[in-house]
Amino acid sequence: MSRIGSAIFNRLVIIIPYAWLLFFFLIPFVIVLRISLSTTAVAMPPYTPVFDLAEGISGIIAGVKEFSFDNYIWLTEDALYAKAYMSSVIIAFISTILTLLIAYPIAYGMARAPSGIRPTLLMLVILPFWTSFLIRVYAWIAILKPEGLLNQFLMSIGVISEPLIILNTNWAIYIGIVYSYLPFMVLPLYSALEKMDHSLTEAALDLGCTPISAFWRVTFPLSIPGVVAGCLLVFIPAVGEFVIPDLLGGSETLMIGKTLWNEFNANRDWPVSAAVATILLLILVVPIMFFQHAQTKADGEGR
């Protein structure tokens, strides 16, 4: 390939992710933001103002003048929204910690396994994705319900005499989220642990570390990028999760996904639901930026 050709190729390679962000993140976000500043109306689409592009710039300016922050003010007036955000973040946080605790040993075991069987182990982690997510969540209903497989098993071996009520509680949501998102945690952890030079741990052991302190002082710090990536991959979708709490959770579980659904479908209030979604995005973006910042700082110090 000629030099000019490769220069163009390099440009293209950079443009593609930016174009992706522009078309599939930024533009949709601007649309949501714009709806969140509108007012509901009995019309198609059910809000005003609607920009008439035929009127050109003046039409857009006239529309922008009608924008208001009333929907955001509304969100602060009813404690429901704040409670829903809080409870979503707490549920997502607990689930993320549980997922990390379960995924770490799995990833560690995979990274230490003989290299010949690693592809098979990776395959096994990804395998559940071959079945529809919805069907897998439904299957948990059959496992967790009072007469379900889990209770039957526990009662038959005599651990419990009364069936445990797990389905329709927050425990069922934790189980559902941990199960569904486990691969998203295992894969980045595995890739971080697999790259790690094992001789570092050996050196630590030779220098008198116990295996446990060698893990905490060498292995774990080196796997931090994987931990951060895995936690974000689990935490972010878990905050906005709708299907798992809807099917496995109880009615009293308050999560922002359900609140959004109510605003959009029951109240038919697209502007308020757009405002709820915008705030949700902010809640998610702030921790990501925090992590990014911390990580670049750590990288800088490392050098």
Partner 1 sequence: MSRKIVSAFAALILAGSASIASAQERVVNVFNWSDYIDASILEDFTKETGIKVVYDVFDSNEILETKLLAGGSGYDVVVPTATFLQRQIAAGVFQKLDKTKLPNITNMWDEITNRIATYDPGNEYAVDYMWGTTGIGYNVEKVKAILGTDEKPTWDVLFNPDVAAKFKDCGIHILDSPTDVVPSVLLYLGLNPDSHAPEDLAKVEEALLKVRPFVRKFHSSEYINALANGDICLAIGYSGDVFQARDRAAEADAGVKVDFSIPPTGAQMWFDVMAIPADAPHPEEAHAFINYMMKPEVIAKASDYVFYANGNKASQQFISKDVIGDTAIYPPEDVMKKLFTTTPFDAKEQRVLTRMWTKVATGQ
DSSP class of residue 210 equals -
Q: Which is nearer to partner 1, 14 or 43 (CB)?
A: 43
Paired tokens of 24: 């599939």
Q: Which is nearer to partner 1, 124 or 142 (CB)?
A: 142
Q: How far is the CB of 35 from partner 1 (least distance, A)?
A: 12
| Residues ≥6 apart with Cβ < 8 Å to 257 | 88, 240, 241, 242, 245, 246
Q: How far is the CB of 137 from partner 1 (least distance, A)?
A: 12
Q: Which amino acid is at 202?
A: E
Contact of 150 with 159, CB cutoff 8 Å: no
Per-residue b/e over 171-190, b at no fewer than 16 CB within 10 Å?
bbbbbbbbbbbbbbbbbbbb
Q: Which is nearer to partner 1, 83 or 293 (CB)?
A: 83
Q: How far is the CB of 82 from partner 1 (least distance, A)?
A: 10
Q: Which is nearer to partner 1, 41 or 121 (CB)?
A: 41
What count of other Cβ atoms lies within 10 Å of the Cβ of residue 285?
A: 11
Contacts to partner 1 by CB under 8 A: 40, 42-46, 78-80, 83-84, 145-147, 168, 246-247, 250-254, 259, 262, 264-269
Q: How far is the CB of 268 from partner 1 (least distance, A)?
A: 7
Q: Which is nearer to partner 1, 79 or 123 (CB)?
A: 79
Q: How far is the CB of 198 from partner 1 (least distance, A)?
A: 40
| Cα(228)–Cα(292) distance, integer angstroms | 10
Q: How far is the CB of 266 from partner 1 (least distance, A)?
A: 5
Q: What φ, ψ does residue 137 adopt, rounded to 5°?
A: -70, -40
Q: How far is the CB of 46 from partner 1 (least distance, A)?
A: 5
Q: Which is nearer to partner 1, 40 or 295 (CB)?
A: 40
| Cα(93)–Cα(77) distance, integer angstroms | 26
Paired tokens of 122: 């990776």
SS3 158: coil
Q: Which is nearer to partner 1, 84 or 227 (CB)?
A: 84
Paired tokens of 237: 């979708």
Q: Is 251 left (phi over 0), alpha (psi -120 to 50) or beta?
A: alpha
Q: How far is the CB of 70 from partner 1 (least distance, A)?
A: 13
246: nearest Cα among 184, 177, 178, 183: 177
C-alpha separations of 220 from 40, 189, 192, 214 in Å: 51, 10, 10, 9
Q: Which is nearer to partner 1, 84 or 103 (CB)?
A: 84
